[in-house]
Amino acid sequence: MEKKKIVAFCCENSSLKAAEALSDPSLLEAVEIVALPCLGKIEIGLVLKCLEKGHPGVLVLGCPLDNCQYLRGNYRAVKRVERVRQLLGEAGLDESRVRMDFLSSLDSHRLAEILQGIKRSEA
Amino acid sequence: MITAVQKPFEEIYRMVEASGKLLILGCGTCVTVCMAGGEKEVGILASTLRLACRERGSSLEIEEATIERQCDREFFDPVKAQVLGADAVLSMACGVGVQFCSELFEGKRVLPALNTRFYGTTVQQGLWSERCAGCGTCVLDRFGGVCPVARCAKSLLNGPCGGAQDGKCEVDKEIDCGWQLIYDRMSALGLLDSLMEIQPVKDWSTGRDGGPGRIRRQDVEL
Amino acid sequence: MKERLCEVGLALCGCGGALFSAAEAGKVLAALKGAGVAVKQVLLSQSLCTAAGMEEAVSHLKDQGPAKLLFAGCSSSRRPGLLANMAARTCLSPGATYGVTLRPGAGALLHAAAILRGLKALAARPAFQTRLIHLEQRVLVVGSGPAGLQSARDLRALGYETVLVDQGVETASGSEGLPGGLILYNGSRLAALNGQLGSFKALLETPCGNRTVSCGAVVITCGAGGVGRFELVEGLLGSGSLTDGAGRPTGCTELYGLPIVPLAELAAFVGGLPRGKETLTVGLLLDLVLDEPVSSMEEALRLGRELQLRGPQRIERQVYLFCREVKVSSLPLQGLYDEAREAGVVFVQVEGRIGLEAEGRGVAVSCRDSVLSAELRVLCDCLGVSPLGLSLAADPVLAAGTGVAVDGLGQLQENNIHLFPELTNRPGVFVAGPGRGQYALPQALREARAAALAVHRLLAQKHLEVELANAQVDADKCALCLACVRSCPFKAMGVNREKAAAESYPEACRRCGLCAGECPARAIELPLHTDAALLALVD
Amino acid sequence: MKEGNGLKAGSNLERVFQAGHFAVTAELGPPKSAEVEVVHTKAGYLKGVVDAVNITDNQTAIVRMSSLAAGLLAMREGLEPVIQITCRDRNRIAIQSDVLGAYALGVRNILCLSGDHQKFGNHPSCKNVYDLDSVQLIGMLKEMRDDKRFLCGEEIRNGKNAPLAEPRIFIGGAANPFGDPFPVRVIRLAKKVRAGADFIQTQCIYDMERFEEWMRQVRERGLHEQVKIMAGLTPLKSVGMAQYMRDNVAGLRIPDQVLERLSKAQDKAAEGIKICVEQIQRLREIEGVAGVHIMAIEWEKRVAEIVEKAGLLPRPKV
């Protein structure tokens, strides 16, 4: 079986743009990018499903707080990610398998760092 | 609506770990509204359980389903096969639904995933609060529409206890003193005088204290 | 409409980021071709993010008429609304456009790869039915203070029927006509705002009972308790209407409609005033808020003295300083006060309302002098106002009734950069003035104009073609828990009583999916991001 | 067993009131064990110093020796007990039964309380009862005494032909002038009086001004003429105790001045007692205050000192 990648849920307005503008697009191969219109769309069940299906981890990449085009999407996402991590803890899994970060569309370098980190830890 | 909260995960896990094939059954009415046992929570609990089982090396096969209401027979029809095929049902309904499901499927183990709490209202998303204690003899007419039985920690009918301070209950500072609410309301309604009346001892027999409740209405009986 | 000449058009931006030269574009196209993709239509603009570049692009695309449009540019050319604007102006539904961000200097191959991803996404995007939303050409302006009047006047000038609501003094009649064709409901308040942009139904509580006004958009310019601080007479905004304002405003007079400037700009402004008058009258107005800080007093005293003494040759000046209280508590301030007095500055201690009125090219200040106990009217050639402005909390009833969210300080409009300056969480409702922040008068007026223009941008389209790609509610699953109604930031969710289920309004829904994320019954789907599609992606 | 002198129950406390004396009672907290000696010792401190001792009923919902049992022990030591009955732990059946028993054993005073919520006690997960509230409890005792009937309406006799044998109890109630909502406080007192309370014990008083305001309202309604009001006092042992009570005891107000005075004093205990004595003197001046009730929490041995310094010794023999 093919080894599954970390799933990166990206907000179309911020982190996805940062991903599109990566100077080294090959970094994107480290993760499975799933574009969401806004992180407000992210569902706890969907994140858990990713882990259930064998993805080693989930990255939730939204825009900086107070910078959500849809006003409250990232705030809601923060709460939902908190709950996912709590559930993981209860299930006995490492909570850090689900991580959240806030990237603007200009933060390609930060995204690159995150992706490089993933590549390194996998190597 | 009836409000409920999910049981601690560990308690649920221990309840179901030896079930073999488990059906998690959600309820689409009250517990969906209070976000404790609707389709979404069914999915979340199922995924969490699967992850926990994998992590702890136990084998549990989990199916998911949600029906409109678990307190009425007819709604179970679509999931009958699933229930019968499972070794146990983890019901995410209120206590009524859990028991009714259990009654319907003789010999099937039906387990509660929720702790049923009270009859209440959504004050705001994520905050629910009790309004009715189901005492069976409504007294709201005498208290300006605020129930002393449900909203006073001691169910006092003749005024607040000594512990209320700044409009909050001594039991929990987050809870409004029911008697403060009654006083405010009655004073706004110009009915303060009627608070002077001594409320006679209450007949509790219409509620829980009278034994399991039963209503029979012959006019609507078929 | 023109027949579509090709399937997908590609718009490449060659803006300030200098992404493309013609040669580089050729390389990108070659790379695309190499990948087996032939894009039939290429537009290479110098600057899609400028007005001129935009015009060029729009006219070009209208001629060519692609069915879908892929837009590729640097991140600054991908600013919100640009794509939608282009879509609207080229008669494409918003769903038929897609934007890709290119990184400067990444090279043709990488650009091509990004464009390919975009083409794929665009191809995968399903077509949606559209609905034509009629945009009522009537605007409700709440608050008839300076900002409200400015907005209302501008909207009138732009040809919109404009209804003003003000809580101010109750008059016997419910509504009255103002010069200039404005309709004013005085002593009235906006109690509820039903419906959605284009066809709001505003419920007004007036002295003559409730009235419903239907309108395409709403501008809110008031805060709580603002009544009585200021009174602007209709003539205030006499000069400089918007109809001829296609070009940029050239100076304060044109911009503000009145020679009212912040204290800091006053000296320069006075210097620039046309000469030829024998006497130049300058007003200084303090206390736009109750607590004027000492520093404003200090600045006004200095400025007053300076203007009084150092006028240009042969032009006499008279400086008036209007304030509610002369604060000279400290010794240095007392000194400044004495100096200003000696220089000839006239001090007017004001009580009650301050009336500002356009007169000629100047502004007349009318007020009650509390020392003389007499009404006063001073005609000023220009007026400097203290930099501190009105700052009012939102009227909670108004906020609740309109569904406009408030920020941490209790003022209208959430603290979100995508809303500034005039947008609110509720599409079709705009804000200006002190209810949304702390503003000096000139600023408030400028924002009122921005709000009027924003209304114009929306309503001038007359109709809005809305793709039905909004959130879809499965009525059978919906438990009517109202989580979506409560959580939708844009108030785009309501209850469909016939279906006994929640419903999203396509004209207001921004397709963010927050409701779907909240729904405990999993009854809400976002057509562009269905649960099945998302699951398939992670399978 | 009827008292033929117009008295309702004929207890010492009632007689002291009737004779027009300024009454003094004290509180005696039963032990958190079956240790009899504790009651004896505390009773020893109080004997001859007060007109009656008030025996708490599992106060703050912490399990202690029952009020009735401790009351009997105190009685053996020569003190007259006031038994507390709360609505928290017993329903109308248990309470009526206890009242009959208490009377049979010689108890003549009962103080009717709602009871502290179990949340603050040592069994917070228990089920509470609250079948009755304190007003209804007072009414029930009055009905038993005056109408000679149980709450259900049956006569209190052991059989058709048996004599009526009703418990003749001097009935007490509590009042908290410091709880909220304030205007309800007097209303509630009036209800208790109407329900049949013979005497009232107040929550401990530190905020004299609010108490005086409350008393003014009490007099306005003429309640002080219908019921004997005993002002509650708790001497403060230390600043820590004062702060604890202010922050943790529901429905209690301690003004900052009191705290300040205590914290400035060298001997905190002596100062606490001094404050208490001053309070008694001030309370005696207030029209309608018929006595004081001293709740010296685990400090019973200093009650005599307080009563003496307040000039209230010796206690009258009536």
pLDDT in tens, B64-92: 999 999 999 999 999 999 999 999 999 99
Pair C407, C517 in one domain: no
Residues in chain B closer than 8 A to A45 (CB atoms): 40, 43-44, 47
Res B181: pLDDT: 96
Q: Can you tell me the mean pLDDT for C337-355?
A: 85
Closest chain C CA to residue A53: C539
Res C386: pLDDT: 74
A65 Cα to chain B: minimum distance (Å):
21
Q: What is the β-pairing status of strands C200-206 and D23-28?
A: unpaired
Question: Of the candidates A44, A51, A93, which has its C-beta nearest B44's C-beta?
Answer: A44
Using alpha carbons, select from C115, C91, C83 the residue that is nearest to residue C19: C115
Selected residue with higher pLDDT from D295 and C69: D295
Domain architecture of chain D: domains with CATH: 12-235+285-296 (3.20.20.220)
User: Do the Cβ atoms of A51 and B10 come within 8 Å?
Assistant: no
Q: How far is CA C46 from CA A83, C40, D210, D214, D221, in A?
A: 48, 20, 80, 83, 89
Q: Can you tell me the mean pLDDT for C112-128?
A: 79
Pair C293, C361 in one domain: yes
What is the spatial order of strands in the sheet that C41-45 belongs to? C41-45, C8-13, C68-73, C97-101
C425 Cα to chain A: minimum distance (Å):
8
| Residue C144 CB neighbours (<10 A) | 26
- C241 part of a folded domain: no
Query: What is the per-residue pLDDT across B59-70, written as a single tens digit (0 to 9) for each?
Result: 899 999 999 999
Res D146: pLDDT: 97
Q: Can you tell me the mean pLDDT for D116-127?
A: 93
Question: Of the candidates B164, B187, B198, which has its C-beta nearest D251's C-beta?
Answer: B164
Pair C113, C22 in one domain: yes
Task: Enter the pTM of the model.
Answer: 0.83
User: Do the Cβ atoms of C417 and A22 come within 8 Å?
Assistant: no
Q: Can you tell me the mean pLDDT for C525-532?
A: 91
pLDDT at C224 over 90: no
Band of residue C180 on the pLDDT scale cut at 50, 70, 90: low
Q: Can you tell me the mean pLDDT for D137-148?
A: 97
Single residue among C330, C355, C386 that ends a domain in this structure = C386
Q: Can you tell me the mean pLDDT for C501-526?
A: 95
Question: Of the candidates B159, B165, B183, which has its C-beta nearest D250's C-beta?
Answer: B165
Pair C317, C381 in one domain: yes
Res A101: pLDDT: 95
Residues facing residue B129 across a β-bridge: B121
pLDDT at A109 over 80: yes
Query: What is the per-residue pLDDT across C1-11, written as a single tens digit (0 to 9) for each?
Result: 333 334 677 77
Q: How many helices (H) and strands (E) does chain D have?
A: 11, 8
Residues in chain B closer than 8 A to C523 (CB atoms): 39
What is the extent of the structural domain holding C495?
Answer: 469-538
pLDDT at C358 over 70: no
Judge whether C495 is closer than 8 Å to chain B, CB to CB.
no
Is the pair A, D in contact (3+ CB pairs within 8 Å)? no
Residues in chain B closer than 8 A to A43 (CB atoms): 40
Judge whether B55 is closer than 8 Å to chain A, CB to CB.
yes
In contact, C428 and C200? CB cutoff 8 Å: yes
Selected residue of B165, B169, B182 to mutate for chain D interface (largest D Cβ count, 10 A):
B165
The percent of residues in chain B predicted with pLDDT above 90, rounded, is 94
Res D102: pLDDT: 97
Q: Chains that contact C by 3+ CB pairs under 8 Å?
A: A, B
Res C252: pLDDT: 26
pLDDT at D214 over 80: yes
A112 Cα to chain C: minimum distance (Å):
14
Give the total number of structural domains in chain C. 4
Res C257: pLDDT: 53
Query: What is the per-residue pLDDT across D62-118, written as a single tens digit (0 to 9) for each?
Result: 999 999 999 999 999 999 999 999 999 999 999 999 999 999 999 999 999 999 999
Res D285: pLDDT: 94
Single residue among C358, C386, C414 that ends a domain in this structure = C386
CA angle C163, C168, C171 (to 5 degrees): 80
Domain architecture of chain A: domains with CATH: 6-122 (3.40.50)
B73-82, C171-180, C234-243: which is most confident: B73-82
User: Do the Cβ atoms of B47 and A51 come within 8 Å?
Assistant: yes
User: Do the Cβ atoms of C106 and A23 come within 8 Å?
Assistant: yes
Work out the angle between the directed axes of helices A73-91 and B9-16 (0-180°, nearest 10): 50
Q: Chains that contact A by 3+ CB pairs under 8 Å?
A: B, C
pLDDT at C325 over 80: no
D94 Cα to chain B: minimum distance (Å):
15
Pair C316, C372 in one domain: yes
- C330 part of a folded domain: yes
Residues A11-42 as b/e (b if ≥16 CB within 10 A, e otherwise) read bbbbbbbbbbbbeebebbebbbbbbbbbbbbb
Query: What is the per-residue pLDDT across B180-208, written as a single tens digit (0 to 9) for each?
Result: 999 999 999 999 999 999 999 999 999 98
- C133 part of a folded domain: no
Pair C99, C53 in one domain: yes
Pair C227, C142 in one domain: yes
- C253 part of a folded domain: no
Closest chain B CA to residue A90: B9
Res B212: pLDDT: 93
Residues 6+ apart with CB under 8 A from A38: A11, A12, A13, A68, A69, A70, A73, A74, C512, C513, C514
In contact, C379 and C320? CB cutoff 8 Å: no
Query: What is the per-residue pLDDT across C283-323, written as a single tens digit (0 to 9) for each?
Result: 888 765 555 667 778 888 888 888 888 765 556 788 998 88
In contact, D238 and D269? CB cutoff 8 Å: yes
Band of residue D42 on the pLDDT scale cut at 50, 70, 90: very high
Using alpha carbons, select from D284, D230, D240 the residue that is nearest to residue D50: D230
pLDDT at C272 over 90: no
User: Do the Cβ atoms of B122 and C482 come within 8 Å?
Assistant: yes
User: Do the Cβ atoms of D180 and B166 come within 8 Å?
Assistant: yes
User: Do the Cβ atoms of A66 and C415 come within 8 Å?
Assistant: yes
Single residue among C386, C411, C428 that ends a domain in this structure = C386
Res C470: pLDDT: 94
Pair C28, C108 in one domain: yes
Selected residue with higher pLDDT from C441 and B25: B25
Question: Of the candidates C417, C419, C534, which has its C-beta nearest A46's C-beta?
Answer: C534
pLDDT at C78 over 60: no
Q: In degrees rounded to 5, what are phi and psi of residue D301? A: -70, -15
User: Do the Cβ atoms of D136 and B200 come within 8 Å?
Assistant: yes
Res C323: pLDDT: 84
Distance CA A62, CA A38 (A): 8
Res B101: pLDDT: 97
Question: What residues 60-89 of chain B have any CB closer than 8 A to a CB of chain C?
Answer: 66
Question: Using CB atoms within 10 A of its CB, is residue C77 exposed (0-12), middle (13-18) or buried (19+)?
Answer: buried
Residues in chain D closer than 8 A to B187 (CB atoms): 183
Band of residue D1 on the pLDDT scale cut at 50, 70, 90: very low
Domain architecture of chain B: domains with CATH: 2-117 (3.40.50), 133-205 (no CATH)
Q: Can you tell me the mean pLDDT for B43-50?
A: 97
Pair C525, C490 in one domain: yes
Query: What is the per-residue pLDDT across A11-24, written as a single tens digit (0 to 9) for each?
Result: 988 898 888 778 88
Pair C423, C497 in one domain: no
Residues in chain A closer than 8 A to C537 (CB atoms): 32, 34
Selected residue with higher pLDDT from C199 and C253: C199
User: Do the Cβ atoms of B51 and A88 come within 8 Å?
Assistant: yes
pLDDT at C360 over 70: no
Band of residue C236 on the pLDDT scale cut at 50, 70, 90: very low
Question: Of the candidates C480, C487, C523, which has its C-beta nearest B125's C-beta?
Answer: C487
Closest chain C CA to residue A75: C514
Query: What is the per-residue pLDDT across B94-121, written as a single tens digit (0 to 9) for each?
Result: 999 999 999 999 999 999 999 999 999 9
- C132 part of a folded domain: no
Distance CA C519, CA C58 (A): 40
Pair C80, C151 in one domain: no
Band of residue C111 on the pLDDT scale cut at 50, 70, 90: confident
Query: What is the per-residue pLDDT across B125-167, written as a single tens digit (0 to 9) for each?
Result: 999 999 999 999 999 999 999 999 999 999 999 999 988 888 8
Res C46: pLDDT: 62
Q: Can you tell me the mean pLDDT for C435-463?
A: 84
User: Do the Cβ atoms of A73 and C514 come within 8 Å?
Assistant: yes
Is the pair B, D in contact (3+ CB pairs within 8 Å)? yes
Residues 6+ apart with CB under 8 A from D63: D32, D121, D122, D123
Q: How far is CA C299 from CA B72, B132, C77, C295, in A?
A: 77, 63, 42, 6
- C252 part of a folded domain: no
Closest chain B CA to residue D194: B198
Least confident among B168-182, C216-230, C328-342: C216-230
- CATH for C486: 3.30.70.20
Pair C284, C376 in one domain: yes
The percent of residues in chain D predicted with pLDDT above 70, rounded, is 98
Res C20: pLDDT: 59
Res C41: pLDDT: 63
- CATH for C450: 3.50.50.60
